[in-house]
Structure 1
Amino acid sequence: MFDRKRTIRTVDFELPRGAVSIEALMAMPREGWEHLRNEINIRRQAEPARPFARCRLCEAGVFIRAQAVDGGHIPFYAHFPESPKSCPWYEGGNLKPDDARAAQYQGHQESALHRRLCQTIEALAKADPRCVSSAIDTYLRPEIHARGRWPDVYLDMGTFGRFALEIQLSKPFAPEVVARHVHYEREGVRLIWIFRELEDPLPQGFHDVITMQRGNAFVFDNDAEAASIEKGTLILKCYLEDGKGGYLKSRLVTLDDLDITTGLSVFLEDRRSERLVKYCKEVRNRWWQAFQQAKTDKPSSPFYSEKFAPAWASVRSYVPELSAWKENYWASHSDRGQAHLASLFAILCSVAHSAEQDKEVLHITRHSGDGALLAMLNSKLSSATFAPYANLIEAFVTTTPLANLLDRPSLRKIQGNARSAHDQVDREHPVWKALARLFPEALDGMVRAEMADLGRLPKWATGPQALPSS
């Protein structure tokens, strides 16, 4: 752990992420904190006066620095250079990007190898009959912005599109990585970073590039050069993350093989989003399967079925505090905590499935017909059993297309009564944490924000829309 005076302990991210401690940051998987690192720099480029993340003490903007260690990197927070030096957590001066770049290259902006690679890649790309024009290290005048760029290789491939190829031999700087992506997206130019090789260990700057390319690393080595000459077009070697800290077997790809439809990123396969989607569904699917089995096992009281035992164990591994809560719940309510959580799961599934299917779908209570979902929520929140979850249910419904249910007078009144008569569980309560693991797209601010950034929120969690007519 870093010294307290040299490390920002807590950072307030823009909602819905909220406060993230240094311990929580360092416990994140690499793809999680790398995504945050890029989002900070995207905001820094777009709106420098409105930081995406702020120091808890001085409220100045901060970024995520990567500390190289054996076998990888450790993330920690650092102030931007203009932050107040009086902050107890200020860790000292930082090199300005231009100064850091000058130090890195020792005054030489380009090596002989870099120049040769640029020339070779341009020549191979020009062999493609679709190439209308190309240039090396030529100022690209922006169409809508004052500041231009000098891409290593610029390609105009006619109707196929325009490309900026950055050949990277030494580690890039995180702010510059993001700045280039943001700039080229605005100009309608597809940016592809190309390495000569994947070093081991890989510098953090390369990881930043791979994060922006959604887990794809493009390499132009001797194999790619030979294949390009043979095929008469530019061919790159693509490495895809394997989800275990390494890469799958490389593949030779052309520009035509790449997905160029997703804004900032160009990639062969989106290796980051799929892992996040899988994470979201993993535990919830176990509960859903248990629920289906429980309805057969105990048709009259499915929530008390032992079919939920494996599902309970799966969520308890993420929220260990559930064990103590389960004992306390039995002592205070003479009821099984596992069955109680299963009932809450069914309530939230009813909302999510109704939003997903554009029709009212209920998995708890016998309400039917027009207004069944509203009637179910009213009846549940009117009971002492579920009234303590008025805030939780509101937080969940707010993230769905059915958020306008919360404006219905009957539900507003019942929610008010529930809050007046019962203490509400909060985000630190084991049940809230468990449901956040079951429905992270709605209740886990970090996951929800990242999925929104990647355009992967499911339909049921895409926010307010009109309630479908019944």
Structure 2
Amino acid sequence: MSHQRTILIADFELPRGAVGIEQLMAMPRAGWEHLRAQINLRRRQDRTRSLAKCRLCEGGVFIRSQATRDSHVPLYAHFPEASKECPWYDGNNLRPDDARAAQYQGHQESALHRRLCAIIEEVTKADPRCSHSAIDTYLRPAIHQRGRWPDVYVEMGSLGRFALEIQLSKPFAPEIAARHLHYDREGVALVWIFNMLEHPMPQGFHDVVTMQRGNAFVFDEAAEAASLERGTLMLNCHLEDGKGGWLAPRLVTLHDLRTESGRCVFVEDRRSDLLEAWSRTERDRWWKALREARKQKPDWPFYHDAFANPWEALGHEVPGLAGWEAEFWAQRSDRARAHSAMLFAILCSVAHSADKGMPVLHITKFKGETAVLQMLNSKLMAADFRHCGRLIETFIDHSRLSPLLAVESLSKKIFEAVRSDEQIDEEHPLWRAMARLFPEALNGVVRAELSDLGRLPKWASAAE
């Protein structure tokens, strides 16, 4: 059946929620590749429970990578078993086994691949820590599941066990997920090894780099020469530079690899650090403005011009913010910028209190152990922030202060706020502005990715 149209909205399990095609295509490569990897990992774990579903037919969907002249564009596609009656049905997809057969044409190993396997095993065996090695030997799983035939399997004493997969042609996303899940269950560190980095790289190579958190390991002539000289396996490690390119490669050994992070093996985590930095960028601007304003106008800092530049910068990242500013002035006779600054201070008070484990307030002058609760009750009781009841509730729920929601006084104030005033939702410019300032709590996609990577900040983690 020919292609009809693309899937416009995919509904992910919470906390991600709905992700439209425009949002998907606007994501940085690292973001949509992480989603793609998580979808495929879930598919391998449980085919009956898709991580993402088509909004119309509720069939499982994955992220297909469409090659452009110098990059790739992410698009949604139904899994093969999806209903062909769906208005967004996008045609038959080539099954992984068929795609693999078409790629290899029955010849899955080349002479270069055989040579690389042999020499990698040879230099690894030369290391005195190596107690066992094998090429293309069946690895029987400890649990009752299908085994694997790693290209090179080595046991390196206290370093652990390694499956070294030499990849010359592009691997397929479902197979990448399957291998990572298998070796993770077996306690074996999986290292994907390239012979060279192509430009542009095939999407399969990008999928591997995503699993290895922005690291690409290459066994080229330089690495081979260094391995023979040192008597151990040396790999050229290429690290993403965060700008679409690579830092200068450096030679590493298996000893340099971090293997404690489950399915991921890497030298430096280039993805999580950049995501964390992006999450803090806008918030740091506003926090600096708040401190400056409080210093110059301690009694009422929120109308200070220190917020002018952060407000303008936020407007560039949040479409519709300028329009809402004019609308807010007409409806409430107040400045949207000052209102946003006060809401920022409320949320900062929650976040900093959750992080410190004690009340830290940046708005109101309540004291004592219940200061945060009193501050929230007073702000929700006032007319100014009733329309933010759902937003504040969601923020608290996604922080270490979530037990506060069970306190009767606060739950009652939230209920009354929701009942008495029309609530802003996730599509409202103010909610999206706060989601940009606090993505760890209010941006479902970013929150889930940080959680997947074990990098959610303390304040935004579950209550202990």
Provide the TM-score with structure 2 as the length reference.
0.98
Query: 2: distance between equivalents of 1:145 and 1:40?
Result: 24
Look up the SS of the partner of 2:72 in the other structure: strand
1:372 maps to 371
Deviation at 1:418, TM superposition (A): 1.3
Query: 2: distance between equivalents of 1:414 and 1:283?
Result: 30
Deviations 1:344-371 (A, max 9, x none): 0000000000100011111100100121
Moved more, 216-225 or 417-426: 417-426
Identity of aligned residues (%): 63
Equivalences for residues 49-64 of structure 1 within 5 A:
49-64=48-63
Look up the SS of the partner of 2:317 in the other structure: coil
1:404 maps to 403
1:191 maps to 190
Look up the SS of the partner of 1:190 in the other structure: strand
Look up the SS of the partner of 1:76 in the other structure: strand
Classify 1:96/1:333 alpha carbon distance in 2 versus 1 (closer, same or farther; 3 Å).
Answer: closer
RMSD of aligned residue pairs (Cα, Å): 1.2
Equivalences for residues 308-457 of structure 1 within 5 A:
308-457=307-456
Query: 1: distance between equivalents of 2:84 and 2:339?
Result: 51
Query: 2: distance between equivalents of 1:329 and 1:76?
Result: 36
Please say if 1:204 is aligned against 2:203.
Answer: yes
What letter matches 2:450 in structure 1? M
Query: 2: distance between equivalents of 1:105 and 1:304?
Result: 66
2:114 maps to 115
Query: 2: distance between equivalents of 1:363 and 1:8?
Result: 44
Equivalences for residues 22-421 of structure 1 within 5 A:
22-421=21-420
1:458 maps to 457
What count of residue pairs does the alignment treat as equivalent? 463
Deviation at 1:40, TM superposition (A): 0.5
Query: 2: distance between equivalents of 1:322 and 1:9?
Result: 24
Classify 1:314/1:101 alpha carbon distance in 2 versus 1 (closer, same or farther; 3 Å).
Answer: same
1:5 maps to 4
Query: 1: distance between equivalents of 2:321 and 2:96?
Result: 47
What letter matches 1:382 in structure 2? M
Deviation at 1:4, TM superposition (A): 7.9
Deviation at 1:388, TM superposition (A): 1.2
1:468 maps to none
Look up the SS of the partner of 1:386 in the other structure: helix
Deviation at 1:328, TM superposition (A): 2.1
Deviation at 1:98, TM superposition (A): 1.8
What letter matches 1:331 in structure 2? A
What letter matches 1:195 in structure 2? F
Provide the TM-score with structure 1 as the length reference.
0.97
Deviation at 1:50, TM superposition (A): 0.3
* Aligned partners of 1:398 and 1:464 also within 8 Å: no
Gaps of 5+ in 1: 466-470
* Aligned partners of 2:358 and 2:369 also within 8 Å: no
Query: 2: distance between equivalents of 1:431 and 1:95?
Result: 43
Deviations 1:360-396 (A, max 9, x none): 1111001001211101001110000111111110000
* Aligned partners of 1:399 and 1:464 also within 8 Å: no
Deviation at 1:434, TM superposition (A): 0.5
Gaps of 5+ in 2: none
What letter matches 2:21 in structure 1? I
Deviations 1:45-87 (A, max 9, x none): 1111000111122211111111111001111111111112222
Query: 1: distance between equivalents of 2:424 and 2:452?
Result: 29
Look up the SS of the partner of 2:4 in the other structure: helix
Classify 1:4/1:429 alpha carbon distance in 2 versus 1 (closer, same or farther; 3 Å).
Answer: farther
* Aligned partners of 2:279 and 2:440 also within 8 Å: yes
Query: 2: distance between equivalents of 1:322 and 1:85?
Result: 40
Query: 2: distance between equivalents of 1:104 and 1:14?
Result: 33
Query: 2: distance between equivalents of 1:62 and 1:108?
Result: 31
Query: 2: distance between equivalents of 1:4 and 1:436?
Result: 36
Look up the SS of the partner of 1:364 in the other structure: coil
Query: 2: distance between equivalents of 1:422 and 1:320?
Result: 24
Query: 2: distance between equivalents of 1:79 and 1:117?
Result: 37
Deviations 1:172-202 (A, max 9, x none): 0000011101110010000000000001111
Look up the SS of the partner of 1:351 in the other structure: helix
Query: 2: distance between equivalents of 1:21 and 1:434?
Result: 18
